[in-house]
Amino acid sequence: MNYDELRKKVLRKDGLYALLYPLLYLLSKLYCLGASIRNYLYDSGFFTAKEFGFPVISVGNITAGGSGKTPLTESVYQILEDAGFSPAIVCRGYRGKEKGPAFAEPDPERFGDECAVYSLKKYRTVASKVKVEGVEFAFKNGATAVVLDDGFQHRKVKPTLSLVAVDPFNPFGDNHCLPLGLLREPVSGLERADAFVITRSNLVSEERIESLELFLKTFKKPIFRAEQTFSHWVDGNFNRTEPPQEKEVDLFCGIGNPGQFVEMVIKMGYRVRNLVVFNDHHSYTEEDIEKLKKLKNPITTEKDLIKLKGRIPQAKAPVLRVEAYGLKEFILANIKNVEKAEEEAVEGDFSPSGVSTFKVPH
């Protein structure tokens, strides 16, 4: 049983699991209280956040686990690059050994699965356990814009724009903070957002989306619907490949919201024969790999696939993309105090040939 299954049994008060409810409820209240105090100290000016002269776009969420944040981060990166910026993604490198700041490589043990996938897909990525140092490192090495991965709770950096990904499957983490629910702070924290992006809007009913939008409108911020689709498939070695031909598939994953992954695969026209779920950011053991090798038609996520290092060559993963109408225009219209500079060479890895650089006017 993984943690999410345990948490849900406690939340439903199933049998003896009900005995754990008072403890987790108390811990959740304490977690919310701690997050509220921390937010108050920043909002009141007791703690200060660092502001940068170049654009910093935060992409975050209010819940732990999968909210569609990763493909949204990639989409924002692409928007900035297409507009002529030399962007970089700055992420913590969760469960990676590298403290950074350092340029990420496709090595999940050193840089964590998210940074490793970004790097493998040729997104210029900085891994840093202290994100403010990662942002500084990126700008010093030629970046002219930063996408701050999982930046909503990182109050030490003041973003130019804060985008919050909202998962329509479980938008508010069962309405409890961790560990009973999935909220990372009280829902009132959404006041800090500049815009909401409802991810995977094409995977749920119109009624669910409208109900969610009705609540989000109380914060008086722009709301965008993002459709999650897939671009292509990759094999166990991350080479482009054909989609699975057999319609019965065996899914395995270690992500925050496996339900949305299952739903997406079903929407593609496949039938799920087996489902193996691990904890989020799971590190695969030799025993795990031997069991997964027995699956006839395995499908997983990019984050899981990169950690397997080709050990399950028959495994495939869909490469996801996000499309949100109007988001590009909103982002570019709200990046202030930036003017286009002459084409010039900039030291570092962030200015590929033909990409414009930007300078803040003084």
pLDDT over 80 at 7, yes or no: yes
Kindly indicate whether the domain formed by 236-315 is annotated with CATH number 3.40.50: yes
Q: What is the pLDDT of residue 336?
A: 60
Q: What is the pLDDT of residue 279?
A: 86
Identify which has the larger pLDDT, 358 or 331: 331
**Residues 253 and 261 sit within 8 Å (Cβ to Cβ):** yes
Residue with tokens 């994100």: 131
Two structure tokens written together for 335: 């990046």
Do the domains 236-315 and 50-86+144-229+323-340 match in fold?
A: yes
C-alpha distances (whole Å) from 170 to each of 116, 154, 174, 199, 287 are 27, 22, 7, 11, 32
Residue with tokens 């489902």: 275
| pTM recorded for the entire structure | 0.87
Q: Model confidence at 243, in pLDDT bands (50, 70, 90)?
A: very high
Question: Across 221-347, where does the E strand assignment appear?
Answer: 223-234, 240-241, 248-253, 271-277, 298-299, 317-324, 339-340
Q: Where are the domains of the chain?
A: 50-86+144-229+323-340, 236-315
Alpha carbons within 13 angstroms on the beta-carbon side of residue 103 total: 12
Q: What is the pLDDT of residue 343?
A: 36
> Domain 50-86+144-229+323-340, what fold?
Rossmann fold (3.40.50)
Residues in contact with 182: Cβ distance below 8 Å, sequence separation at least 6, in sequence order: 63, 64, 65, 170, 173, 174, 176
Span 167-193, pLDDT tens digits: 999 999 999 999 999 999 999 999 999
Report CA 202 to chain centroid distance, whole Å. Answer: 18
Two structure tokens written together for 101: 């700041």
| 28: nearest Cα among 180, 159, 153 | 180
